[in-house]
Amino acid sequence: MKLLDRVSSSVANRKRAIARKLMKPFLKYFYDTHFVMGSPERLKIGERSALANTIFNVSSGNITVGDRSIFGQGVMVITGRHDFRDGMRISLDPKEDDGSWGGNSEVPKEGFDISIGNGVFVASGAIILGKCQIGNHCIVAAGAVVTKSFPDHSIIAGIPAKLIGDTRDNN
């Protein structure tokens, strides 16, 4: 019986090894697919972070993501802004129109940085708008719209997002 168990275990291990090789390209695509709008140098991603179909807009600031953070599908992390003057976008003023689609003259280049800590889970469909910081070991609920900073261990949900719990609580 022990010989049969060893043979069965060996076969199972070989099957797992083959499955891992076959799945590796798919998992790489699934967990490391993101789009950067703006200069890629303004985005810093920590080790072993998974960015499933995430959009990063670095038009108006830098974005930093800590180590081992996980992003669900369709997350948006946005520093980009459009300035308004006298109740309208600046580029709609004929004197300020530079011919670009979004009006480069109306998009601030700095000041809306976003920092996301280590071990953060950002669920699908969440939107994080700069300027803000999300501490270490936080959870951002699906569909949340984050517009301000939160400390370590925060559970964040809602539109606009609010603190609803602490990841250290054992509920």
By the 8 A CB rule, do 44 and 62 touch? yes
DSSP state for residue 150 in the 8-state scheme: B
Tell me the average pLDDT of the chain: 87
- d(C-alpha 131, C-alpha 46), whole Å: 19
Does 16 map to a domain? no
- d(C-alpha 100, C-alpha 40), whole Å: 21
User: Residue 141 above 70 pLDDT?
Assistant: yes
Least confident range from 53-67, 103-117, 138-152: namely 103-117
Does 100 map to a domain? yes
Does 19 map to a domain? no
Q: What pLDDT score does 14 carry?
A: 84
pTM over 0.85: no
Does 40 map to a domain? yes
User: Residue 45 above 80 pLDDT?
Assistant: yes
Residue pLDDT, tens place only, 6-29 = 656 777 788 888 877 877 776 666
Split into its structural domains, the chain has a count of 1
Mean pLDDT of 41-65: 94
Q: What pLDDT score does 47 carry?
A: 94
| Residue 143 belongs to domain spanning | 30-165
User: Residue 1 above 60 pLDDT?
Assistant: no
Domain containing 43 — which CATH number? Answer: 2.160.10.10
Residue pLDDT, tens place only, 84-136 = 888 888 777 777 777 766 666 778 888 999 999 999 999 999 999 999 999 99
Q: What pLDDT score does 80 carry?
A: 84
Phi/psi-derived region of residue 19, left when phi > 0, alpha when psi is between -120 and 50, beta in every other case: alpha
Does 17 map to a domain? no
Q: What is the dihedral of CA 37, 38, 39, 43, to 10 degrees?
A: -50
Does 44 map to a domain? yes
Does 128 map to a domain? yes
- d(C-alpha 93, C-alpha 161), whole Å: 34
User: Residue 79 above 70 pLDDT?
Assistant: yes
